[in-house]
Amino acid sequence: MSLPTFSEPSQSNPMLSRQDGGGRENNQGQAVYNATQGSSQCSSCGRVHTRGTPNCIFVAVSYSGEVMRSTNGGATWTKLNSLPFGFALEWTSVTSGNGIFVAVSFSGKVMRSTNGGATWTKVTNSLFVDSVNWTSVTYGNGIFVAVSEDGHVMRSKDGGVTWTKVDNLPFGTQMDWRSVTYGKGIFVAVSTDGEVTRSEDGGATWTKVNNLPSGYWNSVTSGNGIFVAVSSGEVMRSTDGGATWTKVNNLPFGGSGIWQSVTSGNGIFVAVSQYGKVMRSKDGGVTWTKVDNLPFRTQMDWRSVTYGKGIFVAVSYDGEVMRSKDGGATWTKVEKFTGGPWYSITN
């Protein structure tokens, strides 16, 4: 399968963006971070963590089949040399939950890790056919949910071992779903077709959300009971579990920038764009400020941003990595991944 083309959302082939659906929450609307096995508290990030080591583990996946892993908060990275599908798959999204990492691909494949991303195993299921292009996966309340650009949705209730197809979707199978997240007991998915769907029963059934602000929605996240979605120069937010949405006005950069990914952590939302821009919000997505003095050129194509242990980490299409330890206010260059293009990062 060839690499998808990237273009302006207004064209017939919307740009492909990937994210991990960060800002996962529990049923009480509290932000929850799930990474590796074991359990401990991590006060520095303001989240309830489930992990097995003192340092948060970050994992990044690429469209050329590679996986990078960091065990020290994104400061240094190691490339994994042994993967169940080799290096020929187009990994588009990775997430974590309850000690398990799950990655999905643009060629219908899924793999999982139960040891913090150190080793991965192939998941076998009749749903995983080459014709299904999975674009995003997230975790919430014991359930993994994945969406595709072909309008498909699947879910797993056993840690990604087995998956079931979700039928009777409100949009059929023609919707280009780009991102899915979880918060406040609800799964929410957004599409570059400008649509939103939500599920209140663990992804078993979904309903259409009406009266939306216009936008080609690339990414959605949740934090502190608030959902935020981003698109080409647009941001919208919801305070009622994704049932209704309002457009955010007066954005920095004059409303320009193709926002590829948004995440949340410790009360702060951070969004990154295809053209090197970064902005953040400290009031639940109501107002946003641009981040200046970034360590990279202004045309850097940031593809995904995530949060863990008080640290935001972003990865670009061509493998550049930067991180922030002060809530996204300032960023430092980490290193450049080889290979790629890199699509998704999680913790």
Percentage with pLDDT > 70 across the chain: 83
Residue 12 in domain: no
DSSP-derived letter for residue 337 is: -
Instruction: Report the DSSP beta bridge partners of residue 111.
Output: 103, 122
Residue 229 in domain: yes
The stretch 38-50 carries a mean pLDDT of 32
pLDDT, tens digit, 9 for 90 and up, residues 311-331: 999 999 999 999 999 999 999
| Tally of domains within the chain | 1
pLDDT at site 176: 95
How many angstroms separate the CA atoms of 85 and 49, rounded?
30
Residue 1 in domain: no
Residue 185 in domain: yes
Residue 254 in domain: yes
pLDDT interval class at 34 (50, 70, 90): very low
Residue 24 in domain: no
pLDDT at site 56: 85
Tokens of 194: 């400008």
pLDDT, tens digit, 9 for 90 and up, residues 131-161: 789 999 999 999 999 999 999 999 999 999 9
Torsion of CA 336, 341, 344, 347, to 10 degrees: -30
Residue 208 in domain: yes
Mean pLDDT, the chain, whole residue set: 85
pLDDT at site 299: 79
pLDDT of 7 > 80? The answer is: no
pLDDT of 272 > 70? The answer is: yes
pLDDT at site 55: 52
35: left (phi over 0), alpha (psi -120 to 50) or beta: alpha
Supply the CATH number for residue 154's domain.
2.130.10.30
Residue 121 in domain: yes
How many angstroms separate the CA atoms of 223 and 96, rounded?
16
Return phi, psi of residue 282, to 5°: -110, 5
Q: Is residue 140 classed as helix, strand or coil in its secondary structure?
A: strand
pLDDT interval class at 122 (50, 70, 90): very high
Contact indicator for 183, 198 with CB cutoff of 8 Å: no
Residue 298 structural domain: 32-339
Tracing tokens 């649509």 back to the chain, one arrives at 195
pLDDT of 19 > 60? The answer is: no
Its sign, for the CA torsion 241, 141, 63, 273, is positive
Tokens of 134: 């999975």
pLDDT, tens digit, 9 for 90 and up, residues 232-252: 999 999 999 999 999 999 999
Pairing label, strands 311-316, 302-308: antiparallel
